Amino acid sequence: MYSFIARQPVFDKSMSTVAYELLFRDGMTNRFPDVSPEYATTQIISDLFMSISLPRLVGDHSCFINFPAEMIVQGYADTLPHDKVVIEILESAEPSDELFDAVRRLFGWGFKIALDDFTLEKGWERFLPYISIVKFDVRAYSFEEITQYINQHKNRLSKVKLLAEKVETAEEFERFKAFGFDLYQGYFYSKPEIIKNKRLSPGKVLQLQLIQEVNTTNPDMFKVENYLKRDLTLSYTMMRYTKNVLFKNRGIALGKNATIRDTLLYLGINEVRRFVSISCLTNMADVKTDEIYHMSLVRGRFCELMSKKTGNAALASDAFFCGLFSLLDTILGISMEDLFLQILLPENVMEALTKHEGVIWHYLNLARFYEEQDWENAAALLDTFKLDQANVIGAMKESIEWADRIAD
């Protein structure tokens, strides 16, 4: 069996990623691994400090790790970095004296403690001075039930941060945000909010035109050059990128007086396509959560790797762009159909993103199933492609690490 650690982002009110919850998964054949909570937590700690470094997995962010009460009492959390790890007490825990003493000890050492879906009637009140975050499952209880509960105990909850988990829509996010919640988990950030007849800003139109031009069969480099000249930030970034790529990969130093045209020639069309697409996506995603941009990068790289692993290397470029642009409707607030009336991309890409057809659409679906931990559908696609789950999970790990480097 191939196990791995999945991560789910935690957002603040501005939809910026502030942490990740780390979840142990025992292969891709089940949503919840058939192992004890103690085993899952032990595997996460082991992987973090023996196989994977914590910065590689979460970057500069902190991480939530689920702990059964017994492991907290026994001191398993004591040696973790207190400035990087939030200790999450599972909802199955009982508020015993032993757990209370352990929580006080961890709090004194500087740890943040989160309570998962608790009720004050169970004897948790005395814990609250040492608790930083309280989580509420918005799928298990209605908005009215949750807010009524908080209002009834607002004096005792006044010093803790409130986290809404399993938030699935932008409307839910806005509703809990207006009430005063501080943190959020769920897939609401990746759901598009389509605005009919939306007019894109001139800057975004320019970037879309540039993306379209570089993705034609025979790009007109004079047009590409002119588009870049109209976006000073993009042209400057491209020249810096070119110098780094040339020196790192070929040992070539680009001249001090190099022009935009020089950089285009040095890079070559494939590298220009990649750079322009990623850079324009970065600029267009600036008002959205950074996780959208990161997810787009992960999907692009993952789809590219899948095309190579399934014997479709000729589709690698189209697969990359399919994944990379799969969240443009969310980023821009415009449907894919309307978007492709304004720009043209390779036929395979447009067909996948509008008709949901073709092999690269299935690569994208596999990425989505992984994100949502939908292992049943993921396993079905693995059978279709005759892929081993270890290879797919390895490709996803590689894609996440690649996206982390690009987004850094």
The list of the chain residues with pLDDT below 70 reads: 1-4, 24-56, 118-122, 191-199, 244-257, 285-289, 407-408
Task: List beta partners, residue 161.
Answer: 133
The per-residue pLDDT for 24 is: 66
The CA-atom distances, in angstroms, between 88 and each of 78, 116, 205, 407 are 13, 7, 45, 28
Secondary structure (DSSP) of 86-131: EEEEPTT----HHHHHHHHHHHHTT-EEEEES--GGGTTGGGGGG-
Secondary structure (DSSP) of 300-348: HHHHHHHHHHTT-GGGHHHHHHHHHTTTHHHHHTS-HHHHHHH----HH
The per-residue pLDDT for 276 is: 87
The per-residue pLDDT for 2 is: 45
The CA-atom distances, in angstroms, between 123 and each of 152, 164, 385 are 16, 22, 52
Task: List beta partners, residue 89.
Answer: 67, 115
pLDDT tens digits along 241-254 = 777 665 555 555 66
Q: What angle do CA 371, 392, 382 make, to 5 degrees?
A: 90
Q: What angle do CA 353, 28, 188 make, to 5 degrees?
A: 50
Instruction: Please return the burial class of 296, using the count of CB atoms within 10 Å of its CB with bins 0-12, 13-18 and 19+.
Output: buried
The per-residue pLDDT for 160 is: 93
The per-residue pLDDT for 350 is: 93
- Which domains does the chain possess? 4-190 (3.20.20.450), 202-407 (1.10.3210.10)
Q: How far is Cα 322 from Cα 299, in angstroms, rounded to an integer? A: 8
